Amino acid sequence: MRLLLVEDDDHVAAALSAVLSRHGFEVCHARNGEEALQALVPEADAFGVVLLDLGLPDQDGYEVCGKIRKRTSTPVIMVTARADVRSRIHGLNLGADDYVVKPYDTGELLARIHAVSRRSVPEEAAVAVGHEVRFGGVAVDLPTRQVTVDGTVVQLTRKEFDLLALLAQRPGVVFRREQIISEVWQTSWEGTGRTLEVHVASLRSKLRMPALIETVRGVGYRLVAPAA
């Protein structure tokens, strides 16, 4: 995912960019409001999320947020030291999708980025959410939590089903490892990587389709529909 980081402090931006890059984000850094607005022109490549610091040198961050919202529906997370409730309400009323107060935990920030990016996915990008999802000979019935392969029921554990259902809702889309951990295990990424690998291996074995879940090295996993 491409992410626009609006931060006037180069040291803070460099440190945060390094963390975000390690978690699979492509970070574009804007040092002030004008650079941010220029990066968000309609003809530019789209961003998945904007991280907007409010203490900018050229414009008030709230003003920048209002301008961003007029030209794009890209999710905006305000990042600021202003912790009072009135400031948060003002930011949300201007169109911000979330509000993170400094100092923040990096894991929480990543979770919030994943959350707002999920909410921004167009309905047509989801594949039969809440119904049966089919790809090749595999059918995932989301309401009944039943999986069949060529008509035969496959017994999955709760987490195995949750993992498969997550990938199946957007076939072909790469889910970052930390995003999967956050959604399926409801925890942060640290120390849970081996658990994810074991569940992926188990799914491949039980579904008898090793190529169904593709490993995207250094990023995560995606579901690849079998060739007809």
pLDDT of residue 122: 43
Residue 23 pLDDT grade (very low, low, confident, very high; cuts 50, 70, 90): confident
In 3-state terms, what secondary structure has residue 43?
coil
3-class SS letters over 120-188: CCCHHHCCCCCCEEEECCEEEECCCCEEEECCEEECCCHHHHHHHHHHHCCCCCCEEHHHHHHHHHCCC
pLDDT tens per residue across span 150-191? 999 999 998 999 999 988 877 777 888 888 887 888 766 555
Confidence of residue 143 (pLDDT cuts 50, 70, 90): confident
The pLDDT, as a whole number, for residue 49 is 92
Mean pLDDT confidence for 61-65: 93
How far, rounded to the nearest angstrom, does the alpha carbon of residue 107 sit from its chain's CA centroid? Answer: 13
Q: Which residues of 105-124 are buried (b: 16+ CB within 10 A; e: fewer)?
A: eeeebbbbbbbbbeeeeeee
**Distance set, CA 176 to CA 84, 154, 180, 210, 219 (Å):** 33, 26, 6, 19, 5
As a whole number of angstroms, the distance between CA 22 and CA 87 comes to 31
Mean pLDDT across the chain: 84
pLDDT band at 48 (very low <50, low <70, confident <90, very high): confident
